[in-house]
Structure 1
Amino acid sequence: MHIAIISPGPFSVPPVKGSSVEHDIDEATKMMDPEHQITIYTRKCETYPKSAMEENRHFVRFHYNGPKPYMQKIIKHLRKNKPDVIMVENRPAYVLTLKRHFPKIPVFVNMHSHVYASPSIISKEKMRRVVRLTEGFLTNSEYLRRHFMKAFRIPAKKIHAVHLGVDVSPYQVAKIHYTVKKLRKQIGLKPEHRVLFYAGRLMRAKGVHVLLKAFRKVSEQDPLARLVIVGGTGYGSNRLNPYVRELRKLAKPLGDKVKFVNFVPSAQMPLYYQIGDVVATPSVWQEAFCRVNLEAMASGKPVISTPRGGIGEVVTHQGSGILIPPKDWSSELPAIWEVMWKHPQIRVEMGKQALQRAKQFSWYATAQGYLRVFKQALEKRQNTRQQLPKAG
């Protein structure tokens, strides 16, 4: 099977600045069986200035100066190298252009969140056209699948939930890496400090303000507690916007008990997760999947998160972690923190369960999920053609 995958365009594949959709494309396609030919359309950048071949993956790179010229270049290349299937990553609007040029090639849309299908990005009328024209949708959680089914009346058989994966190996290797102690010292942590760890973008939807307000109460009862916040306003950006200023203001009364660390590239994150004893992801929006939880669990860290969106499909409450509604963090986090340190075996056991749970989410399983959907679509089309009456 020849599969063409169209990345959104603003970031490169493989990612340089840690962008999540591009990371997912890279990891899933690595695991696709070698008999399949994969063409990945993505952007040129300083790190990847040219197109390249890596085993059965062909990276075709173009300058990105907006969606329209980007898609024009891709369509020109597709005309010469017609694939069996096209998968558009997280940009349903691209389907409308593609189907004008390739009406007979099945096109799928792989949605990573609800954002790029929202009315502020694409009109409801255009989104309804996308639903009619696509062969099907893929989502990274059952929550997101149900959301799209309800929001756009997508038939159940036309939309498929395929969870993302994680490679636990680099996170487990990082546990014994000699630089972890050095890293803790650089950040200003002492061996006796008990660290609550956050990784991700600094945006209101991620609930970092909820975490800071709750941690203030934790620190009042535990003088050894420290909060480390790793991330910037965007992928590769450490801009000081109004929300970051608000976070700094919330953290100021806590002094050196809160440590802000700027954006860290994804390749270095396995080491940074080792800094924490417990990982917090206080999402206040309907998070589709939350890959940070899976990475934390791959590190063997208990996760404290929220029951929003698809998070509960990954984090098992009172198993691999604890799920607290955002409004209850300030009242419940101090008590949970105290129990975890008063009875360390609970924290250790939860970390073990987290690792076992993470092992259930492999990139191979993700790749096989995608391939299964594509194969079913092609078989259905083949059967339909065979059943059509022959001319004459």
Structure 2
Amino acid sequence: MEEWQAESPASLTGQEAGQAQPAAESMEDALHPDIGFPVGRPAGEAGAPAGKMARLLRIAIVTPGSFEVRSARKSSVEQVVGHLTRILQQAADFRIIGRKRAGFAARERRDGVDYVRLSCRHRSYARVVAESLRRWKPDVIQVENRPRLARALKRSFPGVPVVLSLHSVMFMSPPHIRKQSLRNCLGQVDHIMTNSRFLQQKVAEQSPVLWNQSKVHVNHLGVDTTVFRPVWEEEQLRLREQLRSAFEFTDKRVILYVGRLLPMKGVHHILEAMPRIAAEVPEAVLVIVGSAYYGSRRMTRYVRRLRLLAQKTPGKVHFIPFVPHEQIPEWFCLADVLAVPSFGKEAFGLVNVEAMATGLPVVATRSGGMTEIIEDRITGRLIDPIEPQRELGPALVELLRNASLCRTYGEAGRSRVEQRFTWEAYGRRWLDFYQIITAGGQA
């Protein structure tokens, strides 16, 4: 077992680092594919009187406040918000709100987006956010992943559309919120946006009547295809050779895991399969990139368990405690296959589309929203989430032994990402949605 410092590989190469069903399955199905306003054109421009420019829609995005907005230390929620505002910065006037922490300005404007960091002290986050928004007068209030916060802001702004943007089931579940309170929150907001049909269905299970109100929508997440490039491109091939040489992986077959080290992520299943994998593919190694907490190397009982399991295959398992998201493409570049053995309620799984964009085949469990991303035996493999140990090892061995199959899956994965999972498409669907709900229509 080896532990590498949380240092980007690029630093070594000189690179810069039975329920009622909705009428439509997703926004892609419910909305016309052409949003009407090209990204970069101001919202409201069409139909404005000659010589006049309608002002941009004011969109307030309220983050959970767990992490600093616009910083290297962030969860997937902050990542998604960053990509959305980057794509639509010329089409809407965004204000991203979070908590104030030491070392960060209370307000700044970067790349056309306002960042407001609020000091709460002894007051509630919801109250301080409401006070800030009253002065700005937004057209839409979008609350990220916190049902109670969305309800509080709707009570403060009854005349403004409030959208709850859900990223996971975590804050829809105990101990974060009781079932009756969740139903009340979902009922009070104007719209609910989810990132998968799986999560949409979870919302419906709480209150099926929501379908009749046309307020629960799906918008699949995306990936920056200019950053996550296919490994077979000439420049990427050179980088791959440099990285594999630097880590003495030139003759290895690399299994990669990227994510938090939590029991629900199923990392232990990969480690339990490693003795068999190593016996059948002696050149196989496993690289585990991530930690139990974002931006932290804190050791937990589960992480200690993983390290003990790694000792069963000495020299075959390498831990990377934490890597900033901006450096993740480099780790995909040196790998041969990505393993995503989550057996919890994974709403989407952004790491899957990022890997597919680089041409990496993915072996994942058939659970949550991942079945909406990965096509079994086309872009990778989907395995049983109940007993993943039966299928995980054989699926990984099959790919490690067959570079041609990896390439076939990888090319299909890249094509699927370009067709369905880009941030540009994600942003266009949001813009169309904003325009519809501010015009008084039903999305």
Maintained 8 Å contact 1:92/1:109: yes
Matched, 1:24 2:84: no
Q: Which residue of 2 aligns with 1:388?
A: none
Maintained 8 Å contact 1:9/1:64: no
Counterpart-to-counterpart distance in 2, 1:381 and 1:344: 51
- 2:217 aligns to what SS in structure 1? strand
427, 433, 436: which one pairs with 1:367? 427
Deviation at 1:33, TM superposition (A): 5.8
Matched, 1:52 2:111: no
Within a 5 Å distance, the mapping from 1:196-235 to structure 2 comes to 196-235=255-294
Matched, 1:160 2:220: no
Q: Which residue of 1 aligns with 2:202?
A: 147
Q: Which residue of 2 aligns with 1:14?
A: 70
Counterpart-to-counterpart distance in 1, 2:129 and 2:90: 23
- 1:323 aligns to what SS in structure 2? strand
RMSD of equivalent CA atoms:
2.2
User: Any idea what the Cα deviations from partners look like across 1:54-84, whole Å, max 9, x if unmatched?
Assistant: 3542111224668x53333221111111111
Q: Which residue of 2 aligns with 1:297?
A: 356
User: Any idea what the Cα deviations from partners look like across 1:333-359, whole Å, max 9, x if unmatched?
Assistant: 343334334443211111111111122
User: Any idea what the Cα deviations from partners look like across 1:174-211, whole Å, max 9, x if unmatched?
Assistant: 8736665554455x433110001000000001000111
Give the aligned residue type for 1:310: G
Deviation at 1:133, TM superposition (A): 1.5
Maintained 8 Å contact 1:87/1:110: yes
Counterpart-to-counterpart distance in 2, 1:47 and 1:223: 48
Q: Which residue of 1 aligns with 2:140?
A: 85
Counterpart-to-counterpart distance in 2, 1:75 and 1:337: 50
Deviation at 1:91, TM superposition (A): 0.5
333, 352, 376: which one pairs with 2:436? 376
Q: Which residue of 2 aligns with 1:62?
A: 118
> Relative to 1, partners in 2 of residues 1:64 and 1:9: Cα closer, same or farther, differing over 3 Å?
farther
Deviation at 1:316, TM superposition (A): 1.1
- 1:190 aligns to what SS in structure 2? coil
Counterpart-to-counterpart distance in 1, 2:288 and 2:435: 43
Give the aligned residue type for 1:198: Y
Matched, 1:265 2:324: yes
Counterpart-to-counterpart distance in 1, 2:337 and 2:218: 29
> Relative to 1, partners in 2 of residues 1:97 and 1:333: Cα closer, same or farther, differing over 3 Å?
closer
Deviation at 1:292, TM superposition (A): 0.7
Deviation at 1:270, TM superposition (A): 0.8
Q: Which residue of 2 aligns with 1:316?
A: 375
Deviation at 1:243, TM superposition (A): 0.2
- 1:326 aligns to what SS in structure 2? coil
Maintained 8 Å contact 2:336/2:400: no
Give the aligned residue type for 1:160: H
Q: Which residue of 1 aligns with 2:385?
A: 326
Give the aligned residue type for 2:154: K
Maintained 8 Å contact 2:67/2:74: no
Give the aligned residue type for 1:260: F
- 2:348 aligns to what SS in structure 1? coil
Matched, 1:172 2:229: yes
Q: Which residue of 2 aligns with 1:43?
A: 99
Maintained 8 Å contact 2:219/2:429: yes
Give the aligned residue type for 1:19: S
Matched, 1:2 2:58: yes
Deviation at 1:160, TM superposition (A): 0.2
Deviation at 1:280, TM superposition (A): 0.5
Counterpart-to-counterpart distance in 2, 1:180 and 1:276: 9
% same residue? 34
| Deviating more after overlay: 359-368 vs 234-243 | 359-368
Deviation at 1:18, TM superposition (A): 3.9
User: Any idea what the Cα deviations from partners look like across 1:310-329, whole Å, max 9, x if unmatched?
Assistant: 10111111111100113444
> Relative to 1, partners in 2 of residues 1:95 and 1:334: Cα closer, same or farther, differing over 3 Å?
closer
113, 122, 125: which one pairs with 2:180? 125
Matched, 1:337 2:392: no
| Deviating more after overlay: 323-332 vs 295-304 | 323-332
TM-score (norm 1): 0.91
Counterpart-to-counterpart distance in 1, 2:302 and 2:316: 20
> Relative to 1, partners in 2 of residues 1:332 and 1:189: Cα closer, same or farther, differing over 3 Å?
farther
Counterpart-to-counterpart distance in 1, 2:188 and 2:386: 41
- 2:319 aligns to what SS in structure 1? strand
Maintained 8 Å contact 1:201/1:234: yes
Counterpart-to-counterpart distance in 2, 1:270 and 1:342: 23
User: Any idea what the Cα deviations from partners look like across 1:25-50, whole Å, max 9, x if unmatched?
Assistant: 00011112624211111233456434
Deviation at 1:216, TM superposition (A): 2.2
TM-score (norm 2): 0.81
Counterpart-to-counterpart distance in 2, 1:327 and 1:69: 41
> Relative to 1, partners in 2 of residues 1:266 and 1:341: Cα closer, same or farther, differing over 3 Å?
closer
78, 89, 94: which one pairs with 2:149? 94
Greater helix share, 1 or 2? 1
Q: Which residue of 1 aligns with 2:5?
A: none
Maintained 8 Å contact 1:288/1:311: yes
Deviation at 1:123, TM superposition (A): 2.3
Counterpart-to-counterpart distance in 1, 2:114 and 2:145: 20
- Gaps of at least 5 residues in structure 2 are 1-56
Give the aligned residue type for 1:248: R
